[in-house]
Amino acid sequence: MKVPSAKKRVVLLGATGSIGENTLRVLAAHRDRLELVGIAAHSKWEKLAAIARQFDVRHVGVFDNQAYAAARADAAAFPAGTHLVGGLAGLVELAQLPEADTVLVAVVGTTGLDPALAALAAGKDLALASKEILVLAGKFVMAAARKHGAKLLPVDSEHNAVFQCLEGHPQAGVRRIVLTASGGAFRDWPADRLAHVTPADALKHPNWSMGPKITVDSATLANKGLELIEAQCLFGLRPEQCTAVIHPQSIVHCLVEFNDGAMLAQLCPPSMTFPIQHALLHPERAPGVDSALDFTKLLGLEFRPVDEDRFPLLRLAKQTMVAGGVAPAVYNAANEVAVAAFLAGQIPFLAISRVVEQTLANVKNFEPTDLAAVLVTDDHARRVARTFLK
Ligand code: MG
């Protein structure tokens, strides 16, 4: 049972990453409305200790075993009386903290799946930034949210934007949604130049400052592919209703087209504080952390079609949506393996899509009836993907 409180009490999983840092800016600006009660990170425990001191947080989780041991050995770094937990079990415990109202899951990859399901089972509102969770197990996450009557608030900027545009509009009136893509680091690069891309090139994103995995995914447009799958699942759409367009300025985050051809769009500057604040304060609106758009200056908004020949990972993502079953999970697993190999200098940039395509062709698709089957497939797909790295 949630204890009624004037403030919303927030648990932040992934406190030291890029989403985490922006969430802390939102929390610091709205201390009268939001209270941080639990934090966790993969391994940066010293940073967690600093956050715990700054926000007076008493529940802290460290995922990595070695880092957890180091944190325990230096307990004086944390506020007196800090409850320190470790590993995945620790993250799950934080996701179910009795005093929490909202759990924001912003951990890299699919590590956040168990904590996300635990939060929903405990009836917490789930603010979800880790798109891989829905790509892997969307059917089961959505079912858990329905079963426990929990609110699922998308934090990914495009999905938060769709959520805002759809509010108050019956689903039957929606023709399609259009997610915008900046186009990533290689938006204007010709196909032959893409063969020689280095990890350093791929990590230069034109508009957003994010972690390395998602920045590479933006450069390959796999990020947009994952987002289309995420949107289909979050909003209960058919594959053909989920589309993408290149929009280099990253000001318009989505467009929703209704049956009559009218479109609603959501606009704000490219800072994650906007969707994070919307999700945490929903349905309240309060002054933002970053400045709004300034129309006293020239503001050009440009849209162009996506070139799926240069960026085959978007085409492959659409194919997995049509195929259904575990295909999106296989796509995600193979992409994670391939991106890690690219960042480690083991495979060239263009091999990322090849590894994903080959993995999809070599893992049998089926309709999973339980989460365990999806996790087994995820593991299998990673092993298959590794055989294509050579
Ligand atoms: Mg996004």
Interval 211-262: pLDDT, tens: 788 889 999 999 999 999 999 999 999 999 999 999 999 999 999 999 999 9
CA distances from 64 to 31, 60, 71, 301 (A): 30, 13, 10, 43
**3-class SS of residue 371:** helix
Cα 277 to averaged position of ligand 1 atoms, centre (Å): 15
pLDDT in the model for residue 110: 81
Cα 216 to averaged position of ligand 1 atoms, centre (Å): 13
CATH of 8-154 among 3.40.190.10, 3.10.330.10, 3.40.50.720, 3.60.15.10: 3.40.50.720
Q: What is the mean pLDDT of the chain?
A: 94
Cα 178 to averaged position of ligand 1 atoms, centre (Å): 12
Cα 217 to averaged position of ligand 1 atoms, centre (Å): 10
What's CA 44's distance to the chain center, in Å? 20
What's the rounded mean pLDDT across residues 178-203?
Answer: 88
pLDDT in the model for residue 3: 52
DSSP 16-56: TSHHHHHHHHHHHHTTTTEEEEEEEESS-HHHHHHHHHHHT
What's the rounded mean pLDDT across residues 62-89?
Answer: 97
pLDDT in the model for residue 202: 85
pLDDT in the model for residue 5: 57
Given a contact cutoff of 8 angstroms between Cβ atoms, the answer to whether 334 and 341 are in contact is: no
The reply to whether omega before 79 is within 30° of 0 (cis) is: no
Cα 352 to averaged position of ligand 1 atoms, centre (Å): 20
Cα 244 to averaged position of ligand 1 atoms, centre (Å): 12
Q: Is the pLDDT of residue 126 over 70?
A: yes
Cα 272 to averaged position of ligand 1 atoms, centre (Å): 9
Q: What residues does each domain of the chain span?
A: 8-154, 159-272+287-323
pLDDT in the model for residue 237: 96
pLDDT, tens digit, 9 for 90 and up, residues 290-336: 999 999 999 999 999 999 999 999 999 999 999 999 999 999 999 99
DSSP 146-208: HHHT--EEE-SHHHHHHHHHHTTS-GGGEEEEEEEE---TTTT--HHHHTT--HHHHT--SS-
CA distances from 260 to 144, 180, 240, 256 (A): 34, 21, 17, 11
Cα 130 to averaged position of ligand 1 atoms, centre (Å): 10
Given a contact cutoff of 8 angstroms between Cβ atoms, the answer to whether 345 and 370 are in contact is: no
pLDDT in the model for residue 109: 77
pLDDT in the model for residue 267: 98
Task: Band the pLDDT of 209: cuts 50, 70, 90.
Answer: low
Structure tokens belonging to residue 62: 């460290």
pLDDT, tens digit, 9 for 90 and up, residues 107-118: 987 889 999 999
Percent pLDDT > 70 in the chain is 98
Structure tokens belonging to residue 364: 């049998």
What's the rounded mean pLDDT across residues 39-48?
Answer: 97
Tell me how far apart the alpha carbons of residues 114 and 117 are, in angstroms, rounded to a whole number: 5
Cα 83 to averaged position of ligand 1 atoms, centre (Å): 33
Q: Is the pLDDT of residue 190 over 60?
A: yes
pLDDT in the model for residue 273: 98
Cα 206 to averaged position of ligand 1 atoms, centre (Å): 14
Contacts of 103 (CB under 8 A, 6+ apart): 10, 11, 13, 94, 95, 115, 116, 119, 124, 125, 126, 127
Cα 164 to averaged position of ligand 1 atoms, centre (Å): 15
Cα 114 to averaged position of ligand 1 atoms, centre (Å): 22
Cα 64 to averaged position of ligand 1 atoms, centre (Å): 27
pLDDT in the model for residue 187: 87
Cα 47 to averaged position of ligand 1 atoms, centre (Å): 25
Cα 22 to averaged position of ligand 1 atoms, centre (Å): 14
Cα 227 to averaged position of ligand 1 atoms, centre (Å): 7
Cα 151 to averaged position of ligand 1 atoms, centre (Å): 20
Cα 180 to averaged position of ligand 1 atoms, centre (Å): 9
Cα 156 to averaged position of ligand 1 atoms, centre (Å): 5
Task: Band the pLDDT of 201: cuts 50, 70, 90.
Answer: confident
What's the rounded mean pLDDT across residues 180-193?
Answer: 88
What's the rounded mean pLDDT across residues 340-352?
Answer: 95
